[in-house]
């Protein structure tokens, strides 16, 4: 177990001061229930890690992607912290090999269950938070999640939101979006443009920016989450 934890710490880029926390994070309730002595399982750490992960990912995407509107950020976060997303990362970290499971879970293939892997991953982040604080947890999240977040962002939006929106509308409906300037506010040196994008008379999204082009990109990014446009 110690050897597995050392390898895990190397991958995470974090060394535990209290290694018992990392052991607890990988201990399933089924294992704890089978022991004669009191062995703490990972459910409480999972509860904490879930909140830590959501805040850390929110902070990362908020500062990393200033052009993506709130709805887009919410969808990105939901995708990367989903059970599927977390279990995929847990497999890359080989968390299944380090999990302590009861006999029943071992027989039923618990080391490969998405739900158990995702829970263990969240518990591990909760343990890092308890051991090193929020900054340490954020550093691990940045290291582990930066790649999946970037991949999710590119696949969902591309690098040019207007082009992505145009291509999807052309492919599905054979038409082009229309952009309308709604307002201009602020002094000359600090203008704020508000734009809306429509298709076939329906409002798809809106955006604001320091230039008309920036506001159109924001509106297009917002529109990519509309039911008429978003990928299924």
Task: List the catalytic residues.
Answer: 50, 122
Cα-based angle 17, 21, 25 (whole degrees, multiple of 5) = 140
> Residue 64 corresponds to which tokens in the numbers above?
């990393």
Question: Which candidate, 169, 151, 159, places its Cα nearest to that of 205?
Answer: 169
Task: Give CA–CA dist 117/96, Å, rounded.
Answer: 7
Question: Which candidate, 58, 57, 34, 31, places its Cα nearest to that of 43?
Answer: 31
- CA torsion through residues 118, 119, 125, 128, sign: negative
160, 151, 62, 10: CA torsion to nearest 10: -150
Sequence-distant contacts of 138-141: CB under 8 A, at least 24 apart: 138/56, 138/59, 138/60, 139/13, 139/14, 140/12, 140/13, 140/14, 141/53, 141/56, 141/57, 141/60
Cα-based angle 65, 192, 185 (whole degrees, multiple of 5) = 155
């Amino acid at each position: 177990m110690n050897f597995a934890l050392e390898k895990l710490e190397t991958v995470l880029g974090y060394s535990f001061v209290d290694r018992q926390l990392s052991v607890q994070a990988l201990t399933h309730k089924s294992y704890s229930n089978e022991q004669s002595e009191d062995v703490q399982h990972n459910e409480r750490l999972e509860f904490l890690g879930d909140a830590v992960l959501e805040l850390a990912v929110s902070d990362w995407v908020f500062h990393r992607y200033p052009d993506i509107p709130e709805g887009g950020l919410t969808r990105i976060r939901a995708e990367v912290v989903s059970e599927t997303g977390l279990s995929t990362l847990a497999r890359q970290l080989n968390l299944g090999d380090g999990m302590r499971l009861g006999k029943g879970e071992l027989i039923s293939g618990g080391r490969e269950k998405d739900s158990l892997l995702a829970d263990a991953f969240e518990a591990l982040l909760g343990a890092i938070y308890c051991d090193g604080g929020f900054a340490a947890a954020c550093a691990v999240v940045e290291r582990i999640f930066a790649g999946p977040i970037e991949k999710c962002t590119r696949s969902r939006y591309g690098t040019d939101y207007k082009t992505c929106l145009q291509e999807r509308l052309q492919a599905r409906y054979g038409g082009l979006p229309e952009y309308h300037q709604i307002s201009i506010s602020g002094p000359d040196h600090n203008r704020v443009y508000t734009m809306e994008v429509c298709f076939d008379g329906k409002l798809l999204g809106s955006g604001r920016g320091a230039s008309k082009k920036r506001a159109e990109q924001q509106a297009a990014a917002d529109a990519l989450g509309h039911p008429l446009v978003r990928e299924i």
